[in-house]
Amino acid sequence: MKILPRSFYARNTLTVAKELLGKHLVRQNQGEKITGKIVEVEAYRGFDDPASHAYKGKTIRNQVMFGKPGCAYVYFIYGNHYCLNVTTEKEGVPGAVLIRALEPISGIKSMMKNRKTKEVANLTNGPGKLTKALNITKAQNELDLTKNGKLFICKPDLTETIEIACSTRIGVKAGAEKAWRFYIKNNKFVSKR
């Protein structure tokens, strides 16, 4: 298992989004390791993307998107849910990839406890669900994902061949015509089809 270097993230957001599929998200939580394979993502850019938080310029909330690549951008939405993003593009250029769904690999018992359900297929198939399953909150905002800390993304030893499909993004009104959602074809942990 190799942690993805910062150079991986310092590229075009769409490229990073596609290549994040099949990678492993690792969460160290209270001495326990929770791991999941990334099976669904969405790309959010800056000034050319009206659906992005960074579209209207830099604010206190979205400043992480303008910062260095390879960091976690966590925000709270709808009074109930956290969403986990990974920042992309070189420092100063806004961009992020929203992690929409995971396939649970290890620490499944803890995920069930956090989510209060026994349905494995229902643990991490949505942005708000996976943050709850991995116990991710605003405390993880701005965390560096290229270091072996509490949260990072790595490349598995076995690189399986995956089929990538794309579609329009979900739940956004502005910029809905952009097909910037990418997911692994025929994977049952993808949130919707």
Binding site for DNA (CB under 7 A): 42, 44, 51-54, 56, 59-62, 65, 73, 75-81, 83, 85, 96, 98, 115, 117, 122, 126-129, 169-174, 191
Nearer to DNA, 67 or 128 (CB): 128
Nearer to DNA, 20 or 65 (CB): 65
Nearer to DNA, 39 or 65 (CB): 65
Task: Find all residues with CB under 8 Å of 104, minimum gap 6, and list them.
Answer: 35, 36, 111, 120, 123, 124, 133, 189
Least distance between DNA and beta carbon 1 (Å): 26
Which helix (DSSP H) or strand (DSSP E) does residue 109 occupy? helix 108-115
Q: What count of residues does the chain have?
A: 193
The CA-CA-CA angle for residues 156, 23, 86, to 5°, reads 140
Least distance between DNA and beta carbon 123 (Å): 9
Q: Are 9 and 87 in contact (CB under 8 A)?
A: yes
Least distance between DNA and beta carbon 99 (Å): 9
Least distance between DNA and beta carbon 126 (Å): 2
The CA-CA-CA angle for residues 15, 20, 25, to 5°, reads 155
